[in-house]
């Protein structure tokens, strides 16, 4: 069997670690060519010793010197900076790129992989939310293959007809139902949300994830970003995407067909399942995840999302309707607000206010290329920083 050669962007994160866990179970199938990490050099060092990639990429030259010293004799060349990320994402010897950097920083290297016609395993939803139309046009133009890692989108992908051609109507699809756990504050009295701490927000009931996506799950902006992600991945109109709260996270999403059939993917909540699915697609491989025991699950519950409790979800629908640069502004403002919340400078309930004010402050304009996307990102960040400053002064 010829091995699939991989670059893993964001190897030191939660998705990166789960990817390497699956890869490590199948040494006959996969070969790691490059690993990247921004901080946590010790983690990256251990990963390099275990998987012996040809390249490792870190944030800056000082870290690169450090890592190169500790990796002497391993045979890994250490590179640094955003250019190096793009370089390892587009190497001719690489077949597939796991895009698992968090946030807007992941867009340039993911797009570089797209432009080199790679198979992209997309975890970095922010890249698609920001660049939507530009990203999908490049996928088509460059013959790249896009496989969703986000558990909901991977479930939808598995529930659509094999070889889905991007036309929901001719495939008989009425609606895509994205499930959401509701996060740690689904039932917390609303008047207590003003006081919640970063650690409380990051204590997700079903999934262990990086801190940014954990806060996004607590505000349900994560689901908002996923609605926009679904719009692009499946060429869906906003009214064809519905969010369903399902606290057990066993059903990972569903597709409703015109004949009344509803097809879903179920499993234990463990990201190694969608990762293994996309890594081996269209084959199936062991992921290390235990089979679902329905007798242990017992109950599957559903609720309508409460937009008063979760205003971020409504903001995402608003940005999607506005189109153009609005989703990039939404994403940028969310990144700024979440980071201020994690730093302890912004109260939890102000996250939505920062995003809403930033969308008001940066009117939507058309985006035709990456430069326009990055300009919208910069404007969204600048607007959000001003609002954060106002809120922290008035505290
Ligand atoms: P994480 O915080 O655990 O890891 C993020 C990775 O990105 C790390 O390797 C970090 O070093 C790297 N990184 C951070 N900033 C960087 C920068 N400026 N430049 C280069 N690299 C940088 O995050 P995660 O939970 O693994 O999530 C990664 C992506 O996958 C996110 O977009 C998230 O929305 C998505 N995702 C995660 C999960 C999950 O279960 N964790 C599920 C679905 C989707
Ligand atoms: Mg998800």
207 pLDDT higher than 90: no
pLDDT at 204: 85
In 3D space, the residue among 14, 31, 168 whose CA is nearest the CA of residue 96 turns out to be 31
How far apart, in whole angstroms, are the C-alpha atoms of residue 51 and residue 101? 19
| Length of the chain counted residue by residue | 395
Minimum mean pLDDT among 137-151, 193-207, 272-286: which range?
Answer: 193-207
**pLDDT band, very low/low/confident/very high, at 27 (cuts 50, 70, 90):** very high
Mean pLDDT of all residues in 220-248: 98
Sign of CA dihedral 21, 23, 25, 31: negative
Q: pTM, whole model, 2 decimals?
A: 0.98
Q: Which of 87, 210, 217 to mutate to test the pocket of ligand 1 (most atoms within 8 A of CB)?
A: 210
Q: Are 239 and 298 in contact (CB under 8 A)?
A: no
Atom of ligand 1 nearest to the CA of 207: 40
Task: Name the 3-class secondary structure at 295.
Answer: helix
Q: From CA 17, how far away is CA 36, in angstroms rounded?
A: 11
**Residue 92 binned pLDDT confidence (cut-offs 50, 70, 90):** very high
Closest ligand 1 atom number to CA of residue 212: 2
Could you list the beta-strand ranges (E) of the chain.
Answer: 4-9, 30-36, 55-58, 77-80, 96-99, 119-122, 145-148, 173-180, 241-245, 251-257, 262-266
Query: How far apart, in Å, do the first and last CA atoms of the chain sit?
Result: 61
From the CA of 395, how far away is ligand 2's center (Å)? 33
Instruction: Give distance in angstroms: CA of 302 to centre of ligand 1.
Output: 28
Degrees, nearest 5: CA angle 377-212-148: 80
**How far, in Å, from the CA of 99 to the mean position of ligand 2?**
14
Residues with CB under 6 A from ligand 1: 10-16, 37-39, 100-102, 105, 123-126, 150, 207, 209-210, 212-213, 271
SS3 263: strand
- Proximal ligand: closest to the CA of 275: 1
Which atom of ligand 1 approaches the CA of 211 most closely?
2
Q: How far is the CA of 170 from the centre of ligand 1 (A)?
A: 35
pLDDT of residue 151: 98
Task: Report pLDDT digits (tens) over 31-53.
Answer: 999 999 999 999 999 999 999 99
Domains of the chain: 4-148 (3.40.50.720)
- Which is the closest atom of ligand 1 to the Cα of 150? 43
In this prediction, residues 315-327 reach a mean pLDDT of: 98
For the cut 80, the answer to whether the pLDDT of residue 395 exceeds it is no
Give the Cα separation of 62 and 44 in Å (integer).
15
| Ligand 1 center from residue 148 Cα (angstroms) | 15
Describe the strand order of the beta sheet including 77-80 as a list of residue ranges.
Answer: 77-80, 55-58, 30-36, 4-9, 96-99, 119-122, 145-148
* pLDDT at 394 > cutoff 90: no
317, 69, 348: which is closest to 191 by C-alpha? 348
């Amino acid at each position: 069997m010829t091995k699939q050669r991989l670059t893993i962007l964001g190897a030191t994160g939660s998705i990166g670690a789960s990817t390497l866990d699956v890869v490590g179970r199948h040494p006959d199938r996969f070969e790691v060519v490059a690993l990247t990490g921004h901080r946590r050099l010790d983690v990256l060092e251990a990963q390099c010793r275990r998987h012996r990639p040809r390249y490792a990429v870190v944030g800056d030259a000082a870290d690169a010197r450090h890592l190169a010293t500790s990796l002497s004799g391993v045979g890994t060349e250490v590179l640094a900076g955003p250019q190096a990320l793009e370089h390892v994402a587009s190497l001719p010897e690489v077949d597939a790129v796991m895009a698992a950097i968090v946030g807007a920083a992941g867009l340039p290297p993911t797009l570089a992989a797209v432009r080199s016609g790679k198979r992209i395993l997309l975890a970095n939803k922010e890249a698609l939310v920001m660049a939507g139309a530009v990203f999908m046009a490049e996928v088509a133009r460059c013959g790249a293959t896009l496989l969703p890692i986000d558990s909901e989108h991977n479930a939808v992908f598995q529930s659509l007809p094999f070889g889905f051609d991007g036309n929901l109507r001719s495939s008989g699809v009425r609606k895509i139902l994205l499930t959401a756990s509701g996060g740690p504050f689904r039932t917390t009295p609303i008047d207590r949300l003003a006081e919640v701490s970063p650690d409380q927000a990051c204590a997700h009931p079903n999934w262990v994830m990086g801190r940014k996506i954990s806060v996004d799950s607590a505000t349900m902006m994560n689901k908002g970003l996923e609605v926009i992600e679904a719009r692009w991945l499946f060429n869906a109109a906003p009214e064809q995407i519905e969010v369903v709260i399902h606290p057990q996270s066993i059903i990972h999403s569903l597709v409703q067909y015109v004949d009344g059939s509803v097809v879903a993917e179920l499993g234990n909540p463990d990201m190694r399942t969608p990762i293994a699915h996309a890594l081996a697609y269209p084959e199936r491989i062991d992921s290390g995840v235990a089979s679902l025991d329905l007798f242990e699950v017992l109950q599957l519950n559903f609720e309508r999302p409460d937009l008063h409790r979760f205003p971020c979800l409504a903001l995402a629908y608003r940005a999607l309707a506005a189109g153009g640069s609005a989703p990039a502004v939404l994403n940028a403002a969310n990144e700024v607000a979440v980071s201020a919340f994690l730093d302890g400078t912004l109260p939890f309930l102000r996250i939505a206010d920062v995003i809403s004010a930033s969308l008001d402050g940066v009117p939507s304009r058309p985006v035709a290329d990456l430069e326009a996307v990055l300009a919208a990102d910069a404007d969204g960040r600048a607007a959000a920083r001003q609002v954060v400053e106002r809120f922290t002064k008035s505290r």
